[in-house]
Structure 1
Amino acid sequence: MDGFERRKQQKKQAILQASLSLFQTQGIKKVPIAEIAKAANVSQVTIYNYFESKENLLEEVLIYYVDQIWQDYQYLFTEDISFDKKIKQMLFGKVDIANDINGEFLQFLMQYYTTEGNYIEKLYREEVLPAVMQLLQQGREEGLVHEQISDQAMLFYLQMFAEYLKREDLAPQIIPMTEDLTRLFFYGIAGEEPASE
């Protein structure tokens, strides 16, 4: 990558970071391109040159945001720690979508997820799902996931959950229940967590 391309990528990254920060705190409609340009230390023309419209920028910001979250989980999934500790970090760790995102931005994210062939669905199918299956296999090996539950049943359950999330009208109900739903998936309706080491 030459110097020009590197500077272009740095500017694009600055725009995405500034946009995400502003959209998360203020929502989408209240944030003009001029404010994003000021926060990213670039001109408005530069933003339009890179993204063409606020709508395209918003979609790129959403992808950038999802990638950041996925990177956090990828790191967790590959850490050399027990299944039990990984699950507890997933349930009670730093990633808390419900608290760090503006309602308007969250609504856009949920609407985007309902569109056919979207980036989130592709990422889920190609990367997230295989990683979760590998995590569940670790749980089996450590005796914390019941060996009689088949991969097919777990895949069906995950797909059922993912399909349900695509319903636009459910976003306001689902997000506050994220922790409960995750706990329900891993520990069942009895709510029993594995004993700590």
Structure 2
Amino acid sequence: MDGFEKRREQKKKDIVEAALALFMKFGIQKVSISEIAKKANVSQVTIYNYFESKDNLVRFVFKFYVDQEWKEQKKLLQSELPFNEKIKKIIFEKGVAVTQINEGFFQDFMKDYASGQSYVEEVYRKEALPLFLTLFEEGKQQGYIDSAISNESLLYYLQMFQEYLRREDLAKIILPMTEDLTRLFFYGIAGKREG
């Protein structure tokens, strides 16, 4: 990649990062291209040259956001931490992340996810699913998951959550309950058992 291409890619990244920061703070609908341009230190024309429309920019922002979040989750899932520590971090980080997201951004993100053609779905199928299976195996080996539960059942359980979360009308309801739902997913209604 030559110097021109590097600068071009850096500008695109600056625009996407600026847009993500503004969208997460104010929501997609309330942020204008001019505000994004100002934050990214570029002209509005530059944004349109790179992304053609706000809708296309939003798609790039969603992909960038998913890649960022997945990179952190992947690092955690592949770490040497014991199963219970991984689960604690997954629950804690989800709870913290949710408090930093504008409700409108979350709703738009969930609407995109509900479309069935979301980038989230692609990352889930290709990368997350195998790592979650590995996590479940670790949980079984370390005594946190009943070894009698089949991987098929665990995957079905995971899929039920996934399918339900695709419903567009759930965004407002789910946002404040993310931490509870994550705990429920991993520990069931009986809660965490010590020992």
TM-score (norm 2): 0.95
Aligned to 1:126: 126
Aligned to 1:59: 59
TM-aligned CA deviation for residue 95 of structure 1:
6.0
Distance of 1:194 and 1:72 partners within structure 2 = 27
Aligned to 2:154: 154
List per-residue Cα deviations over 1:90-125 (Å, max 9, x = no partner): 112376332111111111101101113221111111
Identical aligned residues as a percent: 52
Aligned to 2:70: 70
Amino acid at match of 1:190: A
Distance of 1:148 and 1:15 partners within structure 2 = 49
> Mean Cα displacement is larger for which, 148-157 or 19-28?
19-28
Q: Which runs of 5+ in 2 are unaligned?
A: none
Q: Secondary structure at the match of 2:98?
A: coil
Aligned to 1:33: 33
More helix as a share of residues: 2
Distance of 2:74 and 2:193 partners within structure 1 = 23
RMSD: 1.4
Distance of 1:95 and 1:64 partners within structure 2 = 20
Amino acid at match of 1:50: Y
Question: Which 4+ residue blocks in structure 1 deviate beyond 6 angstroms?
Answer: none
TM-aligned CA deviation for residue 151 of structure 1:
0.3
Distance of 1:156 and 1:100 partners within structure 2 = 30
CA shift in 2, pair 1:151/1:91, >3 Å: same
**Alignment of structure 1 residues 49-128 onto 2, 5 Å:** 49-93=49-93, 96-128=96-128
Amino acid at match of 1:63: K
Distance of 2:6 and 2:67 partners within structure 1 = 20
Distance of 2:97 and 2:175 partners within structure 1 = 8
Contact 1:27 1:105 in 2 (8 A): yes
> Mean Cα displacement is larger for which, 145-154 or 119-128?
119-128
List per-residue Cα deviations over 1:135-156 (Å, max 9, x = no partner): 1111112122110000000011
Distance of 1:20 and 1:163 partners within structure 2 = 26
Paired residues, what number?
A: 195
Amino acid at match of 1:77: L
Amino acid at match of 2:57: L
Q: Secondary structure at the match of 1:101?
A: coil
Q: Secondary structure at the match of 2:37?
A: helix
TM-aligned CA deviation for residue 38 of structure 1:
1.2
Aligned to 1:6: 6
Aligned to 1:176: 176
Q: Which runs of 5+ in 1 are unaligned?
A: none
List per-residue Cα deviations over 1:14-51 (Å, max 9, x = no partner): 00110011111122222111111111111111110110
TM-score (norm 1): 0.94
Distance of 1:52 and 1:194 partners within structure 2 = 54
CA shift in 2, pair 1:10/1:95, >3 Å: farther
Aligned to 2:192: 192
